[in-house]
Structure 1
Amino acid sequence: MVSYKEIQASNALINDATAPHVAVFVGGTSGIGKFTVRALVSTGASVRIYLVGRKSSEERTHAFIQELYAINPKAEVIWTEGEVSLLAETKRVCQVIKSKESRVDLLFLTAGYAPFGTRRETAEGLEIAQSLEYYSRILFVLHLLPLLRVAEAPKVVSVLAGGLERATIELDDLDLKKPGNFGGFKAQVQYAAMNTTTLEKLANENPDVTFIHSWPGAVNTGNVRRGRDPNSIVAWLVWLTLEPLIGLFGFSEEECGQRHLFQSTSAAFGGRGVPWKGKFGVNSLEKEADGLFLVNNKCDCTPNAKVMGLLREQAQVKIWDHTQEVLRPYL
């Protein structure tokens, strides 16, 4: 485990020279994205942040932006509206960013929620949680890779379930459309494995970019209720039982933000970024080198070697081919 004191010491080294000067936060209007934005701005460094969120979150996000400016007047936070469960909207948001920037130092992806309950699809025919947690995220990466490649220490951080992959996924029904295949736990396992296999492929093809698939552990972000009818019995039970337990045993908002800021900036992962004198992380190939890092809530690397070997051999090509087919109209 990387101690909280070590993380705070590393983050204290973030300044105008070491900060990610241009950062894109997709899902940064709430939860872990929001906590990490606040941690980054609180370093006092000169940063420009694109905060991507839905129209419905615009009003409260503007209040958050004012809070950030009070913390750090050198920060520039750009509200960027987009319903990123839709791939057409994701493409549009990327085009806006590409029209304004020549480089991106950090792409931080957290949009999504636990896919419990009945299957619901977007207007594009994709299950909503899968679109947010997988397709939209990969589309952001593919569009912004040219801008990431020219940065000095670029990082892509996808927060979901890195290191918790399972090999028992539905390769013949990757979108879980067949009767009986969709379910909360099964869907989350499916989406996590798809994230990791595709991010590993992209990391191997782009050695100048550090990729992290992070599992945050217990953090009360409200995601366990998101996507449910707020007046349903299940939502009330979650509010009364599960959320208090997460609040009791999970990380605080501040520590969660600091830990993810560490992942986003430290040279502990891949050797690029804020100098690190501790133990270096190993990537998904169990090497101290560039690549994809599966990082848990303690900021330890968890290569999940046995499962990753199976996914690499049996699933990666199928997942990539299917992903290209889905994303091709939006590239």
Structure 2
Amino acid sequence: MNVAIITGGAAGIGYATAAGLAERGNHVVIAGRRQEALRTAADRLRKAYPGSTISTGELDLADLASVRSFAARVSAEHPKVDLLVNNAGVMAVPERRLTTDGFELTFGTNHLGHFALTGLLLPVLLAAEAPRVVTVSAAIARRGRIDLDNLDFHRDYRPMRAYSAAKLANVAFALELAARTDRLRSIAVHPGTAVTGIQRHVSPALRVVAGGLIALMGQSAEEAARPSLLAATDAHIASGAYFAPRGIGEGRGRPAPARIPAAAQDPTLRDRLWVASERLTGVSYHLVAPQRAVA
């Protein structure tokens, strides 16, 4: 039985992804910050899929000690992990906040927390026969800009600027991981538009506007999970791919290969972001690229 981990798996697109993987007979580990929500989600999955194996793990991506603790527990319980879905995230935090380790909250949670988690789980991932890492980004990554001298947004913090930078970093990370090893498949996805818990920090007025747009262009969490499930299960998808809904504005529709954000295609930016991420998190991957030398 394959072992699949989904961050943010207790609700929204993460839960829908977990359900799809449980239906396919995987041992699903749903990870999240709140134990009660994890227990409730696990019970729902067990009832919906009686033959499934579901476990939970407390994980706060905004706290590197929690990330390390979660990775250590998973590695002790599972000698191999076949799939990691980096799904959890925060969006549009109205004022600049910091993680436990002093990173800007949006970038620290969405990118640095997942970067650290993936690196810490790398030994058990590489122990699997055909491991995959799926990293969930967003269409706004195309508007993102990564300022390597301002990753903590101590200058000019704006909620959506921080979010777009983090989502661009998600794609850059997925592509750079693919470039640095051929021992696993690393795939980035954009789920499309859906109302989920990630919008909890958005102002009420913007939430009303977003609700109207989603009614016109959006989709359910189950539909939004399709790119992640495709990337997680399709045997023909190559490492380094990027998938998104094929509908108007990539808001909804069947998942298909999508245009990679231009900035994420820059190998120099990706390498510099990788080096900065290793330094900030203290997690090193020790990988040598099969295609190119990495400084």
Query: Is TM more than 0.5 here?
Result: yes
The alpha-carbon distance between structure 1 residues 213 and 163, as it changes in their structure 2 partners (threshold 3 A), is: farther
2:130 partner letter? A
Say if 2:146 is the partner of 1:169: yes
Say if 2:11 is the partner of 1:34: no
Query: Does structure 1 retain, via aligned residues, the 8 Å contact 2:4–2:27?
Result: yes
1:128 and 1:159 map into 2 onto residues whose CA distance is: 17
Partner of 2:119: 142
Question: How do 1:161-310 and structure 2 match up within 5 A?
Answer: 161=138, 164-166=141-143, 168-178=145-155, 180=156, 182-224=157-199, 226-227=200-201, 234=203, 236-270=204-238, 291-298=239-246, 299-304=255-260, 306-309=262-265
The normalised TM-score by structure 2 is 0.85
Deviations 1:125-159 (A, max 9, x none): 11112121000101111011121122222211111
Unpaired segments of 5 or more residues in structure 2?
247-254, 286-295
Match of 1:125 among 77, 99, 102: 102
Query: What is the root-mean-square deviation in Å for CA atoms of aligned residues?
Result: 2.3
Secondary structure of the structure 1 residue equivalent to 2:146: coil
The alpha-carbon distance between structure 1 residues 119 and 151, as it changes in their structure 2 partners (threshold 3 A), is: same
Deviations 1:63-88 (A, max 9, x none): 32222112222211112112221011
Give the paired residue count.
Answer: 277
Query: Does structure 2 retain, via aligned residues, the 8 Å contact 1:114–1:129?
Result: yes
1:39 partner letter? G
Partner of 2:32: 53
Secondary structure of the structure 2 residue equivalent to 1:50: strand
2:283 and 2:4 map into 1 onto residues whose CA distance is: 26
The alpha-carbon distance between structure 1 residues 188 and 90, as it changes in their structure 2 partners (threshold 3 A), is: same
The alpha-carbon distance between structure 1 residues 80 and 330, as it changes in their structure 2 partners (threshold 3 A), is: farther
The normalised TM-score by structure 1 is 0.76
Deviations 1:14-65 (A, max 9, x none): xx6xxxx10111111111111111122233x2x211111113xx22332322
Say if 2:267 is the partner of 1:328: no
Partner of 2:252: none
2:275 and 2:217 map into 1 onto residues whose CA distance is: 40
Deviations 1:214-249 (A, max 9, x none): 11111111322x235xxxxx3x22343312431442
Secondary structure of the structure 1 residue equivalent to 2:256: coil
1:316 and 1:210 map into 2 onto residues whose CA distance is: 17
Unpaired segments of 5 or more residues in structure 1?
1-15, 229-233, 271-290
Query: Does structure 2 retain, via aligned residues, the 8 Å contact 1:134–1:195?
Result: yes
Secondary structure of the structure 2 residue equivalent to 1:64: helix
Greater Rg, structure 1 or structure 2? 1
The alpha-carbon distance between structure 1 residues 174 and 253, as it changes in their structure 2 partners (threshold 3 A), is: closer
